[in-house]
């Protein structure tokens, strides 16, 4: 099998961020800081670390700060250069490394995650695999691990097997109704590796959940998911769900659950965001233990 290059990552950023109100009233939730940089910068850095250098932001009006963050800021750069603030200048320029290409497309109606991903369909080749990263969730390697990145493992696994990779982690039963939940036929999952998936359901009740394996918000998908998304009818919450298109894909293609080896922080709500700042702030040596 040919090793397919995967370089595109779709990042949906059109959400309203209601769970972060009032912080997100007039700033995009993706610009909320986690330790020393906005949430979106962590997510783009994760994509770059996995070799995904073509970022496709699915956005909407009122969110231009997200795009601006990945643009050069000439006035600021010139000023820092003039003042000889080299370290700061380098930090600033590192946000936009030469290999990073950012494109944005608009989601003109809030019809769900599946719809957001489908808004970028014209930018993805028919046989081109791509990643989806949900920016509410931060995925970081364990503090004890080196810089090993789960997303990079998912990319290489896809390249070897051509099976779609969906990152999952175990959650408490009471939380299953907040996530897509994978059905892996009761198999035991091993952290850092992939297991065949036989179904996935969006936000099931605890009684109906096939497992407690929650979809974390990192996906490597084949291009053929796009026509499936185009046919997907509204599901949970009356939204077009990416989960439902993946469930359809399982009938015709290999799909695997990748068991996260790192840690996730749900920064889309206040407790998760505070926890990320506390844990990562301490690890960065910026907060006392």
Piece of 100-108, 119-127, 129-137, 279-287 that binds ligand G1P (CB under 6 A): 129-137
Which is closer to ligand G1P, CB of 57 or CB of 214?
214
- Count of H-run helices and E-run strands, the chain: 9, 14
| Residue 214 interacts with ligand G1P (CB under 6 A): yes or no | yes
- How far is the C-alpha of 62 from the C-alpha of 72, rounded, in Å? 20
Nearer to ligand G1P, 137 or 154 (CB): 137
Angle at 191 between CA 130 and CA 251, to 5 degrees: 50
202 near ligand G1P, judged by CB under 6 A: yes
Query: Is 137 a residue that touches ligand G1P (CB under 6 A)?
Result: yes
Name which of 47 and 216 has its Cβ closer to ligand G1P.
216
12 interacts with ligand G1P by CB under 6 A: no
User: Where are any strands of DSSP class E within the chain?
Assistant: 8-12, 33-34, 37-38, 54-59, 101-106, 130-133, 137-140, 164-170, 180-183, 194-196, 199-202, 213-221, 255-259, 263-266
Considering only the stretches 62-70, 92-100, 212-220, 269-277, report the one whose residues sit in contact with ligand G1P under the rule CB under 6 A.
212-220
Dihedral over Cα of 59, 203, 21, 166: its sign? negative
Q: Is residue 166 a contact point for ligand G1P (CB under 6 A)? A: no
Choose which of 113, 116, 118, 226 interacts with ligand G1P (CB under 6 A). Answer: 113
The answer to the question of residue 210 lying near ligand G1P (CB under 6 A) is no
Instruction: Give the nearer residue to ligand G1P in terms of CB position, either 16 or 88.
Output: 16
Identify the burial level of 198 via C-beta atoms within 10 angstroms of its C-beta, where 0-12 means exposed, 13-18 middle and 19 or more buried.
Answer: middle
Residue 130 in the binding site for ligand G1P (CB under 6 A): no
Backbone angles phi, psi at 97, to 5 degrees: -65, 155
What residues make contact with ligand G1P under the rule CB under 6 A? 113, 134, 136-137, 179-180, 202, 214-217, 241-243
């Amino acid at each position: 099998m040919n090793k397919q290059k995967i370089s595109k990552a779709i990042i949906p950023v059109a959400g309203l961020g209601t769970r972060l109100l009032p912080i997100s009233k007039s700033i995009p939730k993706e610009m909320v800081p986690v330790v020393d940089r906005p949430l979106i910068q962590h997510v783009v850095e994760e994509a770059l670390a996995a070799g995904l250098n073509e970022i496709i932001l699915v956005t909407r009006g009122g969110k231009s700060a997200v795009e601006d963050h990945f643009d050069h800021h000439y006035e600021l750069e010139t000023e820092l250069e003039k003042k000889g603030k080299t370290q700061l200048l380098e930090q600033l320029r590192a946000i936009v490394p030469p290999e990073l290409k950012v494109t944005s497309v608009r989601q003109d109606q809030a019809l769900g995650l599946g719809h957001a991903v489908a808004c970028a369909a014209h930018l993805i080749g028919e046989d081109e695999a791509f990643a989806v990263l949900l920016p509410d969730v931060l995925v970081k390697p364990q503090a004890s691990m080196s810089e090993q990145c789960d997303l990079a493992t998912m990319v290489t696994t896809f390249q070897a097997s051509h099976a779609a990779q969906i990152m999952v982690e175990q959650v408490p039963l009471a939380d299953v109704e907040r996530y897509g939940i994978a059905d892996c036929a009761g198999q035991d999952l091993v952290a850092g590796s992939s297991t065949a998936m036989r179904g996935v359901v969006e936000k099931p009740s605890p009684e109906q959940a096939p497992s407690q394996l929650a979809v974390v918000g990192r996906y490597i998908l084949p291009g053929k998911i796009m026509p499936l998304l185009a046919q997907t009818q509204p599901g949970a919450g009356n939204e077009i769900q990416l989960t439902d298109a993946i469930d359809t894909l399982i009938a015709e293609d290999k799909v695997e659950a990748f068991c996260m080896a790192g840690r996730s922080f749900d920064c889309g709500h206040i407790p998760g965001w505070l926890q990320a700042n506390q844990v990562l702030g301490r690890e960065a040596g910026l907060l006392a233990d």
